[in-house]
Amino acid sequence: MTTLQVDELKQRIARFPRKDLIYLPTPFRKLENLSRDLGPPEIYIKRDDLTGLAFGGNKSRKLEFIIADALNKGADVIITWASLQSNWCMQTAAAARRFGLKPILVLFKTSDLPLEYDGNLLLDHILGADIRIREAEKGKVVSEEYAREILKEVVNEVKEWGHTPYVVAVGGSMPGYSMEKPLGAISYVAAFAEILEQAAAEDIDITHVIHATGSGATQAGLTVGAKALKENVKVIGISVSDEKEAFAQTVSIISGETEKALGLNLGIKREDLIVLDEYIREGYGVVNREVAEAIRLLFIREGIVLDPVYTGKAMAALVDLAKKGFFKKDDKIVFFHTGGTPALFSYRQKLVELLK
Ligand SMILES: *Cc1c(COP(=O)(O)O)cnc(C)c1O
């Protein structure tokens, strides 16, 4: 299939209902100091931490479509799950409240962070979300099988109240439950078109997009966008949780569904899905010195704050890859800031220890 025009792809995306929730386009800028420190290549940033819903982040882009779907289905309650300091859950609660839906969050204790009202959990509480906290294995994302039983109970409870629940999988990524289409990934196909237009306006020929990858929709959407619009752009997902083959499998399912939903036939193959898993290091949500130093580096050099679970790891990866000579001199790299900054504060003790 030949490369689609941006407008044609945008029209296909526009067939999916969307609620106005965030400020678009998010800023796209060159990181002058970081490019000097690590480059060449030149390094740019896409600021999806500045979407404007709560503290921003990639989940709010997805929720524009997901909330619209929930409202169209007559739901008045949104149910989702993830870990205790989940950005996804907080953003879902904020988006749900904004449109009059009641959020129920099942939060799993996947790290040994103390159970304090801090970071996202504080924001969930301020939003008045119905919070259900459950035990889970540490250093891993909670498995779907494990979550499923608990969800079933919550769904039954909501139905007994006489309400209509909309259940959406962690991260708004995998289609299933109430969300039939990969709406999260579709919003990231749009995000790729957005970067491409911003880059074109400044005559920047981007070669790589690098971002933290978790439940898979961001990478699936960006990869579909790249394959459809500018095939030579490599999308590199830095896994924060899963080993790369398992993760590529997830992204492959979501990107296949995304192609189908948009009427595309791009033939995305395993080799189009670039996942690096060596930066998971000690596990999901575990901060080490590399991550702490990457957070410090971007804050000092560019005044931009990263988070410890996702973007800090992705930045640590970018620093390492640049130092190893992974990129070519005239490459143009876009670091995708996917948000997550409220979680920074719940890691205060660890960060202070590591940055002594
Ligand atoms: C959820 C999240 C990601 C990963 O996005 P997925 O679409 O779930 O892969 C990256 N960064 C932050 C800050 C997140 O909250």
Q: What distance in angstroms lies between residue 307's CA and the mean position of ligand 1's atoms?
A: 11
Q: What distance in angstroms lies between residue 83's CA and the mean position of ligand 1's atoms?
A: 12
- In angstroms, rounded to a whole number, what is the distance separating the alpha carbons of residues 96 and 76? 9
Between 155 and 285, where is the model more confident? 155
Confidence of residue 1 (pLDDT cuts 50, 70, 90): very low
Contact (Cβ atoms closer than 8 angstroms) between residue 72 and residue 99: no
- In angstroms, rounded to a whole number, what is the distance separating the alpha carbons of residues 226 and 172? 21
Determine the pLDDT at residue 3.
63
The model's pLDDT over 215-224, given as tens digits with 9 standing for 90+, comes to 999 999 999 9
Q: What distance in angstroms lies between residue 219's CA and the mean position of ligand 1's atoms?
A: 9
Report the run of H or E that residue 11 belongs to, with start and end: helix 6-14
Atom of ligand 1 nearest to the CA of 307: 13
Determine the pLDDT at residue 126.
98
Average pLDDT of the residues of the chain:
95
Report the run of H or E that residue 45 belongs to, with start and end: strand 42-47
Q: Is the CB of 56 under 6 A from ligand 1?
A: no
CA trace torsion 200, 201, 206, 208 (10° rounding): -110
- In angstroms, rounded to a whole number, what is the distance separating the alpha carbons of residues 153 and 59? 25
Q: Is the CB of 217 under 6 A from ligand 1?
A: yes
Confidence of residue 80 (pLDDT cuts 50, 70, 90): very high
Burial class (CB in 10 A: 0-12, 13-18, 19+), 100: exposed
- In angstroms, rounded to a whole number, what is the distance separating the alpha carbons of residues 305 and 295? 7
3-state secondary structure 53-109: CCCCEHHHHHHHHHHHHHHHCCCCEEEEEEECCCHHHHHHHHHHHHCCCEEEEEEEE
Q: Is the confidence at residue 2, as pLDDT, over 80?
A: no
Query: 21 φ, ψ to 5°?
Result: -130, -25
What integer is the mean pLDDT of 19-26?
A: 98
pTM of the model: 0.96
* Crossing angle for the helix pair 244-261 and 217-229, to the nearest 10 degrees: 60
Report the run of H or E that residue 332 belongs to, with start and end: strand 332-337
The model's pLDDT over 101-147, given as tens digits with 9 standing for 90+, comes to 999 999 999 887 778 899 999 999 999 999 999 988 887 778 888 88
Half-sphere exposure of 192 (CA within 13 A, CB side): 33
The model's pLDDT over 26-71, given as tens digits with 9 standing for 90+, comes to 999 999 999 999 989 999 999 999 999 999 999 999 999 999 999 9
Where are any strands of DSSP class E within 73-230? 77-83, 102-109, 130-135, 165-167, 208-213
- In angstroms, rounded to a whole number, what is the distance separating the alpha carbons of residues 23 and 12? 21
- In angstroms, rounded to a whole number, what is the distance separating the alpha carbons of residues 248 and 251? 5
The model's pLDDT over 166-201, given as tens digits with 9 standing for 90+, comes to 999 999 999 999 999 999 999 999 999 999 999 999
Q: Which residues form the catalytic set?
A: 86
Q: Domains, the chain, ranges and CATH?
A: 6-57+182-354 (3.40.50.1100), 74-172 (3.40.50.1100)
Query: 279 φ, ψ to 5°?
Result: -95, 0
Where are any strands of DSSP class E within 208-327? 208-213, 234-239, 274-276
Atom of ligand 1 nearest to the CA of 87: 15
Query: 133 φ, ψ to 5°?
Result: -100, 135
Q: What distance in angstroms lies between residue 50's CA and the mean position of ligand 1's atoms?
A: 14
Q: Is the CB of 88 under 6 A from ligand 1?
A: yes
Structure tokens belonging to residue 239: 């896994």
